[in-house]
Structure 1
């Protein structure tokens, strides 16, 4: 019997916030994303095995990781990317 399993990552844009970048120091728009890793069986995602949040600067393209609390705070003040 052949068993195919693994993990797959999914990125979801949660919103866009304007903050001062940690790297370049410029006030710029930052894309807030949630990255979810899911366990797959026969290429079907079954359950989440990991989750992380990132923020990417539009000015210098630097990406920084956030913890859950920081991401939730920024998400409430973010503008939705789907409302453009």
Structure 2
């Protein structure tokens, strides 16, 4: 396990960067032009980044990025 210390400004910047990355990945996952394998790789990366965000995000913010695992996005 790796620990890091951030000041308030750095925490806000990290929050912003992670939220923007999650937004971009959600857009990519909804793009039907991408191959199934690419969307699968993006979905795996999304899970990792989402877990990172879940460590410090409030529940209200976190619910905006939660995905329903039962819905198949790989049609």
Greater share of strand: 1
* Larger relative contact order, structure 1 or 2 (CA cutoff 8 Å, min sep 6): 2
TM-score by length of 2: 0.28
Greater share of helix: 2
